[in-house]
Amino acid sequence: MDEVIVSRAIVERFAQKFAQSMDLDVAIVGGGPSGLVAAYYLAKAGSRVAIFERKLSIGGGMWGGGMLFNEIVIQEEAKRILDEFGISTKKFQDEYYTADSVETASTLCSFACRAGVKVFNGISVEDLMVREGVVIGLVINWTAVEMASLHVDPLVVRAKFVVDATGHPAEVVQVLQRKNPVKIKTPSGSFLGERSLWAEAAELSTVENTGEIFPGLYIAGMAVNATMGGYRMGPIFGGMLLSGEKVAKQIQDRF
Ligand code: 48F
């Protein structure tokens, strides 16, 4: 066993994967439920897709269910998506189903990878490339660099479309507005921020408002409600899955 071969294999394989992902059809920021579902459907339809995820683990806010009780709840309308992934669900009462959050997170991740999505974990998106009023790519750096506040310049990835699936902070939308004097497609033209918890309203608006918020930039999942001034919903996940599915369809229609 030659340790240098082991090291070289890792570096060369990663470099190849990374270089091939520098010019994408779709760059998804955040590997939570909405980002994973969107990535899976887009890759399945033939797009070149990568997910950039700050943490080591993919799955976002799914792992801990509600308050670390690792079960999630899905409403009737979204159950068909978990069925498509072969994730087991149990009826709790009419219209309410539960799923094991570990099975859900790991299976969504596995399906996305096997559909061809390249997942880059431990990488944070810190900025965007914007040209003539269109988002054309991401500015990325290692999360470890970000955490250590090291003064290290980033690298870039070009993409025909970017999806902000960063959840509650809607980081991509926020950085777009912080660094550029632009209006986004909200009633005020600016980022509106998330409101307190109201599951029913939140679940509907997260799906309804999923879409292109600025040329080249789409929002999905909880980032939608954060951007549009919608409510939070707590550990009910149907809206996240439906939003991921919707954004994938919207982007596919652009190709
Ligand atoms: O938060 P998250 O799971 O987003 P989501 O798909 O789902 C929300 C639910 O988990 C839950 C909820 C509804 O039931 O309210 O919160 O909308 O996943 C977002 C992922 O994005 C990553 C973050 O680490 C998380 O895994 N992320 C956030 N900012 C960045 C990022 C960034 N700047 N660069 C890379 N990844």
Q: 158-187: per-residue pLDDT in tens?
A: 999 999 999 999 999 999 999 999 999 999
Of all protein residues, the one whose alpha carbon is nearest to atom 12 of ligand 1 is 234
The pLDDT tens digits for 13-67 are: 999 999 999 999 999 999 999 999 999 999 999 999 999 999 999 999 999 999 9
Q: What is the pLDDT of residue 238?
A: 97
Task: Mark 19-43 as b/e (b = at least 16 C-beta within 10 Å).
Answer: eebbebbbbbbbbbbbbbbbbbbbb
- CA 150 to centroid of ligand 1, rounded, Å: 24
When the pLDDT of each residue in the chain is averaged and rounded to a whole number, the result is 97
Q: Which atom belonging to ligand 1 lies closest to the Cα atom of 221?
A: 17
- pLDDT score for 143: 98
Residue 78: other Cβ atoms inside 10 A: 23
Distance between CA 96 and CA 77 in Å, rounded? 10
Within the chain, residue ranges assigned H as helices are: 3-20, 33-44, 76-84, 101-114, 143-147, 171-179, 199-208, 222-228, 238-252
> Strands across the sheet with 90-93, in order?
71-75, 96-100, 90-93
Supply the pTM of this predicted model. 0.98
pLDDT at 22: 97
Closest by alpha carbon to 57, among 78, 83, 36?
Answer: 36
Q: What is the pLDDT of residue 137?
A: 98
Q: How far is the CA of 239 from the centre of ligand 1 (A)?
A: 14
Q: What is the pLDDT of residue 123?
A: 98
